[in-house]
Chains A and B, each alone.
Chain A
């Protein structure tokens, strides 16, 4: 069975969430064998996933978008914690 790139892309996404039925898996495998753009697409999605998983497991400030609690919120929070202790 021949897939278009559009169909292949949909299956690539689905395969990231659960195993594909055999016939679709085979069809996708065949498509990926002959299509470098879909092969790239799949690699890049897996790469994004890998990055995000690693990111979730490291907690240094270097790897986060820059942001911090506004000073007035910090102050309010500290007071709330002090009073309810």
Chain B
């Protein structure tokens, strides 16, 4: 019995490689489920939405299975579908214009700069070693927490710009904001994230300022 199964699996594997088709959809959950989930969660920051997006992605992939050309890996193909689902979701999330007052007043100025426009909290010295952060789960946990402390639109703007690499024009459309507004939002997001990462990860390396 065991031998039969193993033979069949090997045969399927060969066929799959030969015809470069997607593997059995039932295996997708085990092979890619957690990866897709983390991918969505990192960008959307809401576990339930991330679950839904993974589900939608896998079902859409099932429908489109015959179109999978095998030019890329199965995972790359699935991530491509998920990316579209994420953008669609963000478009929906921001269909209403923003009334967020934290983006209208000069809040940032008071928080980070003196009246004269000098740094209130001077940027600390960081050790700029990407390897020391890149492969550390703890760093990405800190990053995710810092990101989720931003106002939603600000965080989404940052994600689309710095993680997804969209240009400002595309992002304005997805987030339903003007170009000027987007600049302000990105400026604030960068300012606050940098500060948060400094407090929780990079900072305290030097006392001298």
Residue of B nearest to A59 (CB): B35
Q: Given known contacts A48-B193, A80-B55, is B162 in contact with A68 (CB within 8 Å)? A: no
Determine if B163 is an interface residue (Cβ-Cβ < 8 Å).
yes
Nearest-Cβ distance from residue A1 to partner chain B, whole angstroms: 14
Within 8 A of A (CB), among B119-170: 119, 122-126, 128, 130, 133-137, 140-141, 143-144, 161-163, 165, 167-168
Among B36-44, B84-92, B93-101, the stretch that binds chain A is: B36-44
Asked if B137 and A65 sit within 8 Å, CB to CB, the answer is yes
Asked if A59 and B33 sit within 8 Å, CB to CB, the answer is no
Distance of A14 Cα from B126 Cα, bound (Å): 22
Binary contact track B62-106/A, C-beta < 8 Å → 1, others 0: 100000000000010000000000000000000000000000000
Binary contact track A6-29/B, C-beta < 8 Å → 1, others 0: 110110011011100000000000
Q: Given known contacts A10-B187, A40-B125, A41-B194, is B62 in contact with A67 (CB within 8 Å)? A: no
Chain A interface category by residue count: 35 or more
List the A side residues contacting B4 at CB < 8 Å.
Answer: none
- Which residues of A are interface residues toward B (Cβ below 8 A)? 4-7, 9-10, 13-14, 16-18, 37, 40-41, 43-45, 47-56, 58-70, 73-74, 76-78, 80-82, 84-85
Distance of A55 Cα from B62 Cα, bound (Å): 28
Binary contact track B42-69/A, C-beta < 8 Å → 1, others 0: 1000010001001100110010000000
Determine if B12 is an interface residue (Cβ-Cβ < 8 Å).
no
Task: Report which of B58, B109, B117, B193 forms a contact with A77, defined as CB distance below 8 A.
Answer: B58
Main secondary structure of the interface of A (DSSP, over half): helix
Determine if B25 is an interface residue (Cβ-Cβ < 8 Å).
yes
Nearest-Cβ distance from residue A68 to partner chain B, whole angstroms: 4
Count residues on chain B whose CB falls below 8 Å from chain A CBs: 59
Nearest 4 interchain pairs by C-beta: A4-B117, A6-B117, A13-B187, A6-B113
Asked if A64 and B187 sit within 8 Å, CB to CB, the answer is no
Residue of A nearest to B76 (CB): A59
List the B side residues contacting A37 at CB < 8 Å.
Answer: 119, 122-123
Nearest-Cβ distance from residue A71 to partner chain B, whole angstroms: 11
Asked if A69 and B37 sit within 8 Å, CB to CB, the answer is yes
Distance of A77 Cα from B143 Cα, bound (Å): 29
Asked if B163 and A78 sit within 8 Å, CB to CB, the answer is no
Distance of A23 Cα from B99 Cα, bound (Å): 34
Determine if B15 is an interface residue (Cβ-Cβ < 8 Å).
no
Nearest-Cβ distance from residue B147 to partner chain A, whole angstroms: 10
